[in-house]
Structure 1
């Protein structure tokens, strides 16, 4: 019995419906119910024919073509669990994953996609997110997904073909966008950024929306023109594989020596540290965080103004602002 026989598809349909109910229970789809239909229709298991889970002796592979029925069913149940799945490793380093479905749903709803929008996804991953976008828009040609790794884009194409979806899959540096497919109305990144790539703004129509992980948060930007954009963070925490390619800044270590022990446990403070890394001393950051009442992610934002990009607390021109690369 193969991974995609009738019995497997029936079990997958039940598991997929349960996942959609789980996501829906938190009201995630309330602002755009069309996404509920996309998650109900697109089969995630076609995009994760295998994935890795932590085992006592290191990563263990779960595979849809395993010879034993119990192993195949374990793979399938895992494919529809509301958890991120490691799909590609190199020397123990995570290169690519399928994001947690509920987080994907929150991001896609927050992207505010409208019919007819041209969308660029940076970070092709398994191809699952591009398939959801193509289903939502009802037109494969409106969706472009890009990744630096040829192995990742090739496997994404195979998965998309298996699911009957054919968005444009491009191998290239996502930080440079995809000029030949521009202009875009929406850009969504599924990899962590250190700053906002200027090429993205230049490839967007005025009024376009960008949603990207930055400093363990999800930044939403509205593009004014090729040199200006501004927006705020969503309340949601987000942890993604870093963007690889041109302009990727290497993170600098941060010492928490001398800080109260409780500082290490405060997610909001750790977000501030990640956002201001290299520009604000950790002690000064903690003093600011306490003085301002422990601000959460949604009080922070980012402004792109020509050659300058900065993060800020509460107001772009307020007293608290920090340059980004």
Structure 2
């Protein structure tokens, strides 16, 4: 079979698989609040952003590669590229340092970002470039999108992938916690990596009324920015596990001992979320008593407030009895 024929077959199968992925995301309800994203996910070819990735195998990770000489291996790579799962894209000493997020979670976060025509968007964590391509497609103008990552090899490959897909947003190498002031002000900021708190530099680079979405403590918080020193918002209802932001973020406190917590609660996803959000300010027993007493609260009952030099997470109300300071 000639190269052109093989390329055609790949493109045809990719279009088929992309349509299936769109149907899966649609069924999940991820973009119910902003269905415009359906068209972006149907148009942007995810496989161009993951020319290789890693899957868990018996002996560690197995690499899947789009240029494999084995046609069956290439098909496995392509099918995996359009599965609604996160893909490990970069390892260092056996540790995951970059990934392509689960498409349905990306869709939900993009829908919750509430992007409007003409918005300037900053993405923290360039990853493969796929999320930036979806944003550029939705906005219809590459110049409105900036994506930043600390690792030069990540930004270089993201730039390459974006160009292959026909997009040329600003791809910046730098510390995401510092934002990208030269392209500010931003109407939307979205992070695709986990942070311990809200960097004040982001708020300073936002227009008044901007919306910021960022993963914190196995959840995603959506903040409305009032000005450079004030922002507030609540968590989305979905769990989210992201690679931590590299660079200036400090390590979190150790997970407290679970002594005194009943076995059924120890691994309960919402209990673990409270433990992570309180960041060691509650011991496990105190957290359990609060969690049970408040009816095992779902994520949207929690929120974050930034006010001047102070930032804190809270349950039900920013000035309520349950609040935990976040790192400055």
- Report TM bin, short chain: over 0.9
Task: Describe the superposition over 1:86-120 as per-residue Cα deviations: whole angstroms up to 9, x where unpaired.
Answer: 00000011000000000000000000000000000
Contact kept in structure 2, 1:148 and 1:173, CA below 8 Å: yes
Q: Does 1:19 align with 2:15?
A: no
Contact kept in structure 1, 2:260 and 2:284, CA below 8 Å: no
Contact kept in structure 2, 1:2 and 1:64, CA below 8 Å: no
Contact kept in structure 1, 2:265 and 2:271, CA below 8 Å: yes
Match of 2:310 in 1: 308
C-alpha deviation, 1:214, in angstroms? 0.3
C-alpha distance in structure 1 between counterparts of 2:98 and 2:131, whole Å: 13
C-alpha deviation, 1:2, in angstroms? 6.0
Contact kept in structure 1, 2:195 and 2:249, CA below 8 Å: no
Contact kept in structure 2, 1:119 and 1:142, CA below 8 Å: yes
Distance 1:308 1:77, change over 3 A: same
Match of 1:293 in 2: 295
Match of 1:219 in 2: 221
Match of 1:186 in 2: 188
Match of 1:261 in 2: 263
C-alpha deviation, 1:286, in angstroms? 0.5
Task: Describe the superposition over 1:231-253 as per-residue Cα deviations: whole angstroms up to 9, x where unpaired.
Answer: 00010000000011114334423
TM-score, length-normalised on structure 1?
Answer: 0.98
Match of 1:73 in 2: 75
Contact kept in structure 2, 1:2 and 1:65, CA below 8 Å: no
Q: How many residues align?
A: 325
C-alpha deviation, 1:254, in angstroms? 2.0
Structure 2 unaligned segments of length 5 or more: list them. none
C-alpha distance in structure 2 between counterparts of 1:144 and 1:25, whole Å: 30
Match of 2:54 in 1: 52
Alignment of 1:225-240 (within 5 A): 225-240=227-242
Structure 1 unaligned segments of length 5 or more: list them. none
Alignment of 1:107-146 (within 5 A): 107-146=109-148
C-alpha distance in structure 2 between counterparts of 1:33 and 1:297, whole Å: 23
C-alpha distance in structure 2 between counterparts of 1:105 and 1:150, whole Å: 26
Match of 2:210 in 1: 208
Q: Does 1:173 align with 2:178?
A: no
Match of 2:44 in 1: 42
Match of 1:99 in 2: 101
Task: Describe the superposition over 1:107-150 as per-residue Cα deviations: whole angstroms up to 9, x where unpaired.
Answer: 00000000000000000000000000000000000000000000
Distance 1:64 1:227, change over 3 A: same
C-alpha deviation, 1:267, in angstroms? 1.1
C-alpha deviation, 1:28, in angstroms? 2.4
C-alpha distance in structure 2 between counterparts of 1:251 and 1:242, whole Å: 14
Root mean square deviation, CA, Å? 1.2
C-alpha distance in structure 2 between counterparts of 1:37 and 1:307, whole Å: 41
C-alpha deviation, 1:212, in angstroms? 0.4
